[in-house]
Amino acid sequence: MVVDPIWNVDYPSGNGKFRGIHDLAGNSRGRDHIRDLQAQRGAGDKIQFMPDAEATFDYHRGVNWQKNALSRTAAFAQRMWGYNPEQMLKPHFLEDPKIAFMIYPHVFSRSALEQRC
């Protein structure tokens, strides 16, 4: 599901669901949808200033697997296990800091307890 909160845009597929990056990459559906929204919302909406490049999804990925050595190693391991890293979803705790703050203390406290025993 692709949602752009900056421009207040989502990309419905018409059957009650939403389009993903793979549905929008390599075609003009995203740009066409933006043009439709620009016509619907009128001159006062910020969507009028949205550049076409913001609705082009040819190079977008859910996770940047080339970011650092750890992410490259994780992508390599996934390929070795027969998974396509480009189809993996980003872990939710990376998107929502509240969840990360709940998970990290639990993990670290468990490891500290295991080291004591």
In the prediction, which pLDDT does 110 show?
61
Return the pLDDT at 114.
64
What's residue 116's pLDDT? Answer: 62
What was the pLDDT predicted at 112? 56
Residue 16 one-letter amino acid: G
Q: What was the pLDDT predicted at 117?
A: 57
Q: Which residues of 41-66 are buried (b: 16+ CB within 10 A; e: fewer)?
A: eeeeeebeebeeeebbbeeeeebebe
Q: Which pLDDT value is given to residue 34? A: 93
Residue 113: per-residue pLDDT: 59
Please give the model's pTM, rounded to 2 decimal places: 0.56
Best CA proximity match to 4, nearest among 40, 37, 43, 44: 37
DSSP states of the chain as a string? --EETTTTEE-B-SSSSB--HHHHTTSSHHHHHHHHHHHHH-TTSGGGG--GGGG--SS--SS-TTSSHHHHHHHHHHHHTT--GGGPPPPHHHH-HHHHHHHHHHHHHHHHHHHH-
pLDDT number for residue 73? 93
Spell out the per-residue pLDDT of the chain, length 117, in tens. 788 888 999 999 888 888 888 888 889 999 999 999 999 998 899 999 998 888 888 777 777 788 889 889 989 999 999 998 877 777 776 667 787 778 777 777 765 556 665
